[in-house]
Every structure is written in structure tokens, then in C-alpha cells.
Amino acid sequence: MNELVEITQRLRAFRDARDWKKFHNPKNLACSISIEAAELLEHFQWKTPEESAAYAVAKRDELSEEIADVGMYLIALADNLGIDLLEAIDRKLAINETKYPVERAKGTAKKYTEL
């Protein structure tokens, strides 16, 4: 996927133009992912599932920005650690397919250890 490579390069250029590489260590990037994910979660706090669904439609642009923040920090962390994000996702999906076989996991939210 050339798009992920291009986004990664743009994130590096953005970071480097501001001399922020010194702040982009694994701990800070992991913390930033968590912080941005919490900001995303805050949008849904105290809402019922139905209210959350309606809110997601009404506030799509705001949620898009929060999701982008999480994604950008995730890409930056993977880049910092030398992890091919798409390869890691592919490997993890294969693991999950084994942990959650369709015939045992379909329609249930149980953890794989409880199937």
C-alpha cells in the first residue's frame, strides 16, 4: 500500500519540520495514542448504544478528526519501532482467525479462552 508509505513520509516531514523527533520516543507516542483514544471515547461517554449511533452520524466530522489523531500516532509509533503496520495487522488477523474460529465464535462476544 503506497498510501501508508506516503502518509508515513508526510508524518515524518511534519515532525521534522518542527524539530519534534526528539519528543517522538516510544513512550511518548504510546501515551499519545492512549490520550487521543480517550478523547475519542469521551464523545460517547454516558450515551446509550442508540444515542451513540445517532451521535456518530451527527458528529461524523469531529469523530473523524479524533480517529485521525489516533491513527497518526499509531503510524508514527510503528514507524519509530520499525514495525510494518500492515504486515503486523495481517499477522494479527491470522492469529485471531485461529483463536476465534467461525464455528465457535459466531454471534458471541466471549473471549477465545471461553469458547
Going from N- to C-terminal start, the domains of the chain cover: 2-83, 84-115
The answer, yes or no, to whether residue 1 has pLDDT greater than 70, is no
The answer, yes or no, to whether residue 75 has pLDDT greater than 90, is yes
Contact 43, 64 (CB under 8 A): no
Q: What is the SS3 assignment for 87?
A: helix
The answer, yes or no, to whether residue 95 has pLDDT greater than 90, is yes
The answer, yes or no, to whether residue 88 has pLDDT greater than 70, is yes
Q: What is the pTM of this model?
A: 0.91
Percent of the chain with pLDDT over 90: 99
The answer, yes or no, to whether residue 114 has pLDDT greater than 70, is yes
What pLDDT, in 10s, does the model give residues 11-33? 999 999 999 999 999 999 999 99
Tell me the H-state helices in 1-115. 2-17, 26-42, 49-58, 60-81, 85-99, 102-105
The answer, yes or no, to whether residue 45 has pLDDT greater than 70, is yes
Q: Name the CATH topology of 2-83.
A: Helix Hairpins (1.10.287)
pLDDT of residue 52: 98
